[in-house]
Structure 1
Amino acid sequence: MTEKNLPPIQSLDQINSPTYRLAALDQDFLLSEDMRGVRFLLEYSKAELALKRAGVLSTLVVFGGARVRENGPGKEAHWYAEARKFGRLASERGGALHGPDKQCKNVIATGGGPGCMEAANRGAIEVGAPSIGFNITLPHEQFPNAYTTPALTFNFHYFAMRKMHLAMRANGLVVFPGGFGTLDELFEILTLRQTRKAPLVPIVLFDEAYWRSIINFDKLVEHRTIDAADLTLFRYADTAEAAWEALVEQGFGRAHDESAPDVVQKDI
């Protein structure tokens, strides 16, 4: 900087004041409580624009426990293996590989973490398909798994905005065994379907014995907190192949086309 471009000494206090910073470059301002709405908009827009640039027309969402290990005890290894297999076969059959004009449908999308999410992303990548990870910042740092497409790996601060992106383009949902986070995502989509805030989204719960042991859906009907017809909003499956067939039986691949994501976005 030449001497003639230096600010006058008498202006240094003004220049160094936080109020003089450009708003877009003022981190203290952007992270303030008053700018929460702006941060919501930024989290929505950044992922939305990246997905559009990548030609992602719709997704096939896979939820499941982050604590499930590939060589874990009990049924963990089976859950991981079947989630991985499902990621492969769904990517091969669902349109993630063969879209026109570099556009793709039914791209595997997960929460981007380890466990069942990693397995589904891994299966997709192994057949050369794109793979989406919607990560979230947590007090105990969660890193993205190694099987999401780098340009389709996102990081969110707000659970609400992350769940919105998971739901917006979803043409189907497969839920592997998991804990609170998995249940949260499952009931988010079930509620959107039950209240007709989203069009038909086929839902499959993987490992019927697991789900029946932790949630007694029939008791909800018995206590009249849901209708018996609400039990038709989802199916059970015990293998990756059966999960795919259950999606198709519910209309996956027939009831959705390129316009479907726009319909969902308008309602959510």
Structure 2
Amino acid sequence: MTKPALESLDQINSPSFRLPVEDTNFLLRDEMRAVRFALEYAKADLLLRDWGVRSTIIVFGSARVPSPERVESWKQAAQPDEQQLQRMEQQLRWYQAAREFGRIASERGGAKEPKDRWRDNVIATGGGPGIMEAANRGAQEAGAPTVGFNITLPHEQLPNRYTTPELTFRFHYFAMRKMHLAMRANALVVFPGGFGTMDELFELLTLRQTAKAPVIPIVMFDRSYWQRLLNFDVLLEESMISPDDLQLFDYADSPEDIWRILMQRGLRTR
């Protein structure tokens, strides 16, 4: 490369001389938001295609649900009272159920063995701890690839260690992350959770209610939890929803129940 003349150094060192893809300050301008949206869409889409991920089963649920290892460690360190122990044991059952479902779906749904290079019903989560970790963990234990769609948060969310490294993504925009969660989903399974889980649940219910998304089974795990939390009958009584809207989802109380309902509802498998 020709050595730049001294009189050209100011021009060469100017940010305007950088290639746009090398100029972070330029890419982060407010006016470039549409380009950043497109980049977040394209990167995940292309890498998923490279791995042959054609369809997914999305698992939502709380990041706060502890793993067995965390429960055991906390028992030894904190000496919890009876009420705390009961809550931990209940949440641990949710973790174990999500883990078992991740294994079942990965073994039976087509994620382990690609056909004509394509994999179907690959377990995908938000990539964080708790229920998300459990579902990814079950899929990994089954020997299947598994996806984590992480999000940049003020208190940084680290990816759990069970997502396939090459399928572990990070998004800045919630909207683009939600789009990737929904756009190739063959089914949605929702374990107990809080604001984030309910946000994602109602996003998919709304897409189904308005026919903006294909018909997919939606299963909410632990009927008791969800019926205590959400009284859909009130919406029906107040004519805020129609009776048909209550057919958009089902309840299940075991991993095998989830799989049975998904199959009854027409989950596409091999």
TM-score by length of 1: 0.91
Equivalent position to 1:53, from 44, 47, 50: 50
Q: Deviations over 1:161-204 (max 9, x none)?
A: 00000001000000000111111111111011000011111000
Give 1:182's aligned amino acid: T
- What CA distance in whole angstroms lies between the structure 2 residues aligned with 1:23 and 1:103? 35
Letter in 2 for 1:58: S
C-alpha separation in 1, matches of 2:52 and 2:179: 19
Counterpart check, 1:192 vs 2:207: yes
Give the corresponding residue for 2:76: none
Q: State the alpha-carbon separation in 2 of the partners of residues 79 and 239 from structure 1.
A: 9
Q: What is the rounded CA distance, in whole Å, between the counterparts of 1:16 and 1:90 in structure 2?
A: 54
Q: Which residue is equivalent to 2:123?
A: 108
Does residue 146 of structure 2 align to residue 131 of structure 1?
Answer: yes
TM-superposition CA deviations, 1:105-158 (whole Å, max 9, x none): 000000000000000000001010110000011110111101111111101000
Corresponding residue SS for 2:116: helix
TM-superposed CA distance for 1:47, in Å, is: 0.3
Deviations for 1:228-266, whole angstroms, at most 9, x for unmatched residues?
110000000011111111111211137xx8xxxxxxxxx
Using the TM superposition, give the Cα deviation of residue 216 of structure 1 relative to its aligned residue in structure 2, in angstroms.
0.8
User: Structure 1 residues 219-228 or 41-50, which shifts more?
Assistant: 219-228
Question: What is aligned with 1:31?
Answer: 28
Could you tell me which runs of 5 or more consecutive residues in structure 2 were left unpaired when the two chains were aligned.
72-87
Partner of residue 211 from structure 1, selected from 226, 236, 242: 226
- Which residue number in structure 1 is paired with residue 8 of structure 2? 11
Q: Equivalent residues in 2 for 1:1-268 (5 A)?
A: 5-71=2-68, 72=71, 73-253=88-268
State the one-letter code of the partner of 2:107.
E
More divergent stretch after superposition (193-202 vs 12-21): 12-21
Displacement of 1:15: 1.7
- 1:263 matched to which residue of 2? none
- Counterpart CA distance in 1 for 2:113 and 2:145 is 11
* Aligned counterparts of 1:123 and 1:102: Cα–Cα separation in 2: 22
What amino acid does structure 2 have at the position aligned with 1:169? R
TM-score normalised over the length of structure 2: 0.91
How far, CA to CA, are the matches of 1:74 and 1:127 in structure 2?
A: 25
Distance 2:193 2:121 in 1: 22
2-side partners of 1:238 and 1:97: how far apart?
25
Q: How many residues align?
A: 252
Alpha-carbon distance in structure 2 between the residues aligned to 1:13 and 1:107: 52
The alpha carbon displacement at 1:16 in A equals: 1.9
User: Which has the higher mean CA deviation after the structures are superposed, 63-72 or 8-17?
Assistant: 8-17
2:84 alignment partner in structure 1: none
What runs of 5+ residues in structure 1 fail to find an aligned partner? 258-268
Q: How far apart, CA to CA, are the structure 2 residues paired with 1:191 and 1:167? A: 12
* Amino acid aligned to 2:55: S
